[in-house]
A and B are shown apart, each in its own frame.
Chain A
Amino acid sequence: MKIVGISACVAGIAHTYIAREKLIKAAEKAGHEIHLETQGTIGTEHALTENQIQEADVVVLAVDIKIKGKERFTGKKTIEIPTETAIHSATALIKKMEEIIKN
């Protein structure tokens, strides 16, 4: 499964990046390819390429705030959760995504 997504939290300095790390770790452990963009207070980092988005099977948005560029994912299966959920239960979240893709 190929995953792309965005993480963004309120303060934009910690949760954003912890959520990214946890999701990447969990996804790679389960053997998936994942690319995550961060929209912290510093600005957008690890920006997604058009290619990555096009190839993705599912989009995960771990966001607590309004994000930029959501329209890039129009028509894709999208899962939105608060950053906290991604941090506390990344593996379970990836599993849930697998289920969603299968159906």
Chain B
Amino acid sequence: MKSLELRKHAMTGISYMIPYVCTAGMLMVIGNIFGGHTITNYREGFSIADALTTLGGDGLGLLPVFISTFIAYSIADRPGIAPGFLLGMLCKANGFGFLGGLLTGYLGGWVVNYLKKVIKVPSFAEGLVPQMILPLLATILVGVFMEYVLGIPIIALTDGIAALLLTLQGGTSILVLGVILGILSSIDYGGPINKVVFVFVLSLMTQGIGAPIATLISASMIAPFGLTLGYFLSRVLHKEIYSRQEVDALKSAFLMGCCQITEGSYPIILNDLARITICTGAGAAVDGALTMYWDCASTVPAGGFFALAGISHPGLWLVSLLAGSAVFAVLLQFLKRKPPEESMEEETEMDLDLTSLKISG
């Protein structure tokens, strides 16, 4: 049997979703800054700020639909889009949320693919198969299954997690949760682990639990900020641990970091992946624990400093970020060594990971 490629399809959905989340999130932030309120009656007149806030909020509310559509598309191509979309709407209506959207995406896509193989019709009716039969049958089958079978544990699970987080709030165990969230969000610099955490905390956010996503935003910024703070600290201490290329790279790393894009830090991180990642983990652990403890909750799923407008206790959130970056920066002084100039030419390579290699043809 062909492997299910669960991760690849989720990642494809997320790759389509990132610009959507950023746009909807920023619409809401800009609207909120200018005092926008959610519009309830369009006939009564509204300001541009109201329109931005509402559009952004509605957009984020449709995330289950979006992810379901594009996972189904990734699995089943065009015939997957219609059932993915409709099943996502079913999830939104029932409160199955983002988690439900992920599942209907997979199920819708797989059922369409299965039906593609088993449905045989006379040649004059072939055109009907992708147009109507596949999407309609897939939507009905998966829809009924979601509504009466899978939906029940999903509701129980999401309610359970929400209740658990609420009881943890204010206690010491929330610190542990914050440490774990912080570390997992940060240590692969926007890679697959970070994306899995993102899916999880985003689904919490759509249920109105905003602290975990605020933690992820903050933890994602630890590496660029820690590196920047670490550079200034090294200058104060008269330690030379940055090469000239690294200082150049740091400028764009910092700027991109302000927008929660970690990728700008790669040129520096990749010079010394293991040691810098220890700093990242430690910094993000402190940062995560603090943001969770102070319950800095966000209504905006991404955007770095731009998300500040949607974060409750923005001051404490900034303090957490600073504290985490400071831990990173101090550790860095002990761990980081100056790479030789022009180190880009002869870098040491990791061994080829053959488990990930797929050969065909």
Contact = CB atoms under 8 A, between A and B. Distances in A.
A66 B74 contact: yes
A14 B18 CA distance: 14
Interface string B182-203: 0000000011100100000000
A72 interface: no
B86 interface: no
A11 B353 contact: no
Interface residues of A, number: 33
Most B-side CB within 10 Å, residue of A18, A64, A78, A84: A64
B9 A81 contact: no
Chain B interface size band reads 20 to 34
A93 B12 CA distance: 24
Interface in A13-35: 13-15, 18
Nearest to A65: B12
Nearest to A84: B191
B329 interface: no
A77 B356 contact: no
Given A12-B15, A65-B11, A90 B349 contact: yes
Contacts of B359: 77-80, 100
B111 to A, nearest CB: 18
A75 B361 CA distance: 6
B244 interface: no
Contacts, number: 81
Contact of A59 (B9, B18, B191, B361): B361
B361 A76 contact: yes
Nearest to A100: B359
B352 interface: yes
Contact of A13 (B195, B261, B357, B360): B261
Contacts of A52: none
Contact of B356 (A10, A75, A85): A85
Contacts of A41: 15, 18-19
Interface in A63-103: 64-66, 73, 75-82, 84-85, 87-93, 96, 100
Interface of B: 8-9, 11-12, 14-15, 18-19, 74, 190-192, 195, 261, 263, 266, 270, 349-353, 356-361
Interface of A: 9-15, 18, 41, 59, 64-66, 73, 75-82, 84-85, 87-93, 96, 100
24 contacts: A9-B15, A10-B14, A10-B192, A10-B195, A11-B190, A11-B263, A14-B190, A18-B266, A41-B18, A64-B15, A66-B12, A73-B361, A75-B361, A78-B359, A78-B360, A79-B357, A79-B359, A87-B270, A88-B350, A89-B350, A90-B349, A91-B349, A92-B351, A96-B352
Ranked 10 nearest A-B pairs via Cβ: A14-B263, A92-B352, A65-B12, A80-B358, A88-B350, A66-B12, A89-B352, A77-B361, A66-B74, A78-B361
